[in-house]
Amino acid sequence: MPRKHQLSLDIIKILNILFIFVSLVICSLMMLADIPGVELLETNPNWLLIWLVSWSIKRTIYQGAIAGLITGWIYDGITFSTPSHVLSFVLVGVITSSLKKQKYIGEDFISVAFIVFFMTIFAETIFAWQYAQEGFVISSEVRQKYQQIVIISAIITSLWSPAFYYPFNLWQERMRWWTKKQQSNLY
């Protein structure tokens, strides 16, 4: 009998990994798509950042860092950009996972939108700093572009974050419930 419950637990874990992988692929594809009505002043949401924040909120710092590393690599692969997005995404993953959202912030969409808003500003700031450090343009040009891009990007990304966070969070809650149920049946 315990073998049957262990098999159910393994299937739940496989489904969870599959869901995470598919959601990451969907966010990556949405980064490439120009969907009418989604953009604001020709700026699309940063779907990978939304995925990263949604993933990292209830995870350990190590898991947030690994997720930031992976999403940073994916972002760099999509945009072929220099400098890399890896540093900013790793830091966003670490900071988001260290917030301990359930302890300090309510479980509503507004708090997630605020976290995404500030993490977008943080990630764009790090990217602009890297851009200036590599000497591609002078600092005054980076500052002017930064002011134009960062607020629009933060607004549009935070506005779309609840649309992704709700189903993602619902799935994670169901996975925790199914896992606990199967583990209680195992013993």
- Evaluate whether 58 touches 102 at the Cβ level (below 8 Å): yes
The domain locations on the chain are 2-186
pLDDT at 168 (0 to 100): 83
Residues 2-39: pLDDT tens digits? 555 566 667 777 888 898 899 899 888 888 887 777 77
pLDDT of amino acid 138: 59
Return the closest-CA partner of residue 83 out of 123, 143, 140.
123
Sequence-ordered list of residues with C-beta below 8 angstroms from that of 180, at least 6 positions apart, any chain: none
CB 90 within 8 A of CB 119: no
Reported as a pLDDT band with limits 50, 70 and 90, residue 117 is very high
Q: What is the pLDDT of residues 137-180, one digit of tens each?
A: 656 766 777 777 888 888 888 888 888 888 888 888 888 887 77
CATH of domain 2-186: 1.10.1760
Q: Are 12 and 29 in contact (CB under 8 A)?
A: no
Residue 89 confidence (pLDDT): 93
30-76 pLDDT tens trace: 888 877 777 777 778 888 999 999 888 888 899 999 999 999 999 98
Q: What is the pLDDT of residue 62?
A: 94
Residue 169: phi and psi, rounded to 5, are: -65, -40
Give pLDDT, residue 5. 55
Give the model's confidence band at 1: pLDDT under 50 very low, under 70 low, under 90 confident, else very high: very low
State the number of CA atoms in the 13 A half-sphere of 172 facing the CB: 15
Tens of pLDDT, residue by residue over 64-79, are 999 999 999 999 888 8
Contacts of 54 (CB under 8 A, 6+ apart): 112, 161, 164, 165, 168, 169
> Please, which pLDDT band fits residue 102 given cuts at 50, 70 and 90?
low
pLDDT computed for residue 186 by the predictor:
56
pLDDT the model gives residue 84: 83
Coil, strand or helix: which one is 124?
helix
What lies within 8 Å, CB to CB, of 86 at 6+ separation is 68, 69, 72, 73, 76
